[in-house]
Amino acid sequence: MKIIVAGGDGFCGWPTALYLSKQGHDVAIIDNMVRRKIDNELHSNSITPIATLEERVAKWKELTGNEIRTYDGDLTHYDFLREVLKQEMPDAFVHFAEQRSAPYSMIDREHAVYTQENNVSGTLNVLYGIKEFVPDCHLIKLGTMGEYGTPNIPIEEGYIEIEHKGRKDVLPFPKQPGSFYHLSKVHDSHNITFACKIWGIRATDLNQGVVYGLDTDETQMDPVLTNRLDYDDVFGTALNRFIIPVCNRP
């Protein structure tokens, strides 16, 4: 399949791009490198040294012969996204390209607005792009477990059957997000559901829990392919901060 991995320079996107390429898929990455710029803003960095995206894909080609094309650009710029979609005509679009830190979104008004504009507009552009240029393309979108909050009842897979005043319906499970970042994901989920309903787009919205770990079979093939690992108080998740450096890297 032809697959675009948006956010393919990031923690989840880079190993995913390598994995899909290794399986024989034809992979292209979109990334605007904003995560590396945020490292500078926060005076932080990945605890593992990470090569540039150009160095990474060149090493991958040298080792496997597989080319991963890269597009340096922003999903919130529709002119850019439209050209990439027309050029690639993907069968699947794996969408990791969002601001993904709850603490970052809560720093102040500016960071909250940036997070919601970046995430909601980017995903809306992807939905329109699929509708206009590749209506059969399957969207795989990373949402978050945090969309649900922590209700006192078991969380159902997306929907819940409710009986109210003698009538029954199957409704989306209530969302109780705990930050402006998590709210951006809820807005995305609504937009994706609506786009599927009105345009017949195919989408999988994964309400993913924390992803932990560092290495995959592919990233271990060479130090240049090493994945990023955030350990700071804004982007480092507790699992990655306290467990992985101890377990994974003696």
Strand 167-172 to strand 92-95: parallel, antiparallel, or no bridges (unpaired)?
A: unpaired
Residue list 60-79, contact with ligand NAD (CB under 6 A): 74-76
Q: Is 86 a catalytic residue?
A: no
d(CA 199, CA 194): 8
Q: How far apart are CA 85 and CA 81, in angstroms?
A: 6
Give the interface segment with ligand NAD, choosing from 83-91, 132-140, 197-205, 206-214 (CB under 6 A): 206-214
Residues 14-53 that bind ligand NAD (CB under 6 A): 30-35
Number of residues that bind ligand NAD (CB under 6 A): 28
Residue 63's H or E segment, with its range, is: helix 53-64
Cβ–Cβ < 8 Å for 183, 98: no
How far apart, in whole angstroms, are the C-alpha atoms of residue 231 and residue 247? 14
Least distance in angstroms from the C-beta of 230 to ligand NAD: 7
2 catalytic? Reply is: no
The answer to whether residue 185 is catalytic is yes
Angle subtended at Cα 112 by Cα 29 and Cα 85, rounded to the nearest 5 degrees:
25
186 lies in the binding site for ligand NAD (CB under 6 A): no
Report in angstroms how near the CB of residue 98 gets to ligand NAD at its nearest: 4
Residues labelled catalytic: 144, 181, 185
Binding site for ligand NAD (CB under 6 A): 7, 9-13, 30-35, 74-76, 96-100, 118, 122, 142, 144, 208, 210-211, 237
